Structure 1
Amino acid sequence: MDVAELSDRTEINEALNRYTIAIDTGEFDRLDTVFTSDAQIDYTESGGVAAAYAEVKPWLAANLPAFSQKRMHTLGQVSIVFANTRDEARVTAYFHNPMLIADGRSGDGTERLVEVGGIYHHTFVRTDAGWRSRRLHEQVVWTRGF
């Protein structure tokens, strides 16, 4: 592995970190540094939408607040496989996403923990602004607490 490849891998990992921080903090404008403007995103396995980034970003802002601001992703098992040109990469990352949601069952305003575990499948491309995701499919492997 040469220095250029190490640099590319680090930049892609940093983009993955920016993604989870943007989602967890609700700072959705940070996603502009993760996705290409024409990116396609598919959250259907977790009850979300499949659409272009321009449509998904406001959808996230409208729907994720149901989980309060108490969201916290962790990523692991990141695999990066470069295409022959080294300007595209298939990236998979295992995720665990615990969140708190209002517990309508109790009626007293308490929150309950819900969790999603799965795999993010990205296609990253090299752009003038650095590595960006052109495609994301969120594969749900398990849930708990819903």
Structure 2
Amino acid sequence: MLTLQEMSDRLEIQELFARYAHAVDGRDWAALKDVFTEDAVVDYTAMGGPRGTVPEVVAFLEEVLPLFPATQHLVANMIIELDGDRATARTMCHNPMPLPDDGGLLQCGLWYLDRLVRTEAGWRLAERGEEKAYQVVLKQATAE
């Protein structure tokens, strides 16, 4: 049975993951930086992105996300392992992104692999990696 603290920690971590998704999709870079520790490492290499510090990854996102009319990160099925003021998590993510000029829909499926720490400001991501499940482009059917 979970303690009240464990339930609270799990809810706070789930909220942190939702804030991450909303920040990326809303292109709110200040909010995105706030979900990480100052020395966090982010590794997007499994899906073709960079590995680096939060400012480096934010610069990458600022450059590539305008290529897509929209993004939508759906995070679910979290497995969170708590260990006092530290935690690890594996979280499923489905991220459809329409391509410009009716070029179809890029669908990305992955798992986030996270290491978290409790800070004075609450839970923060100290490390975020990815494990690729799939990446496909769906094209619209054309009338012939």
Which residue of structure 2 aligns with residue 80 of structure 1?
Answer: 80
Which residue of structure 1 aligns with residue 141 of structure 2?
Answer: none
Q: CA deviation at 1:32?
A: 2.2
TM-score (norm: length of structure 1): 0.89
In 2: Cα distance, 1:67 partner to 1:125 partner: 32
Which residue of structure 2 aligns with residue 101 of structure 1?
Answer: 99
- Please list, as runs of the form range in 1=range in 2, the aligned pairs for 1:119-134 lying within 5 A after superposition: 119-134=111-126
Matched, 1:110 2:111: no
8 Å contact 1:37–1:54 — kept in the other structure? Answer: no
8 Å contact 1:15–1:33 — kept in the other structure? Answer: no
In 1: Cα distance, 2:109 partner to 2:6 partner: 29
- Could you list the per-position Cα deviations for residues 36-59 of structure 1 after superposition, in whole angstroms to 9, with x for gaps in the alignment? 111000001111100111211121
TM-score (norm: length of structure 2): 0.90
Identical-residue share of aligned pairs (%): 34
Report how many aligned residue pairs link the two structures. Answer: 137
SS at match of 1:71: coil
In 1: Cα distance, 2:102 partner to 2:91 partner: 32
* 5+ long unaligned stretches in structure 1: 103-108
Which residue of structure 2 aligns with residue 140 of structure 1?
Answer: 132
RMSD: 1.2
Runs of 4+ in structure 1 over 2 Å off: none
* 5+ long unaligned stretches in structure 2: 139-144
- Could you list the per-position Cα deviations for residues 4-50 of structure 1 after superposition, in whole angstroms to 9, with x for gaps in the alignment? 11111111000000011111111121112211111000001111100
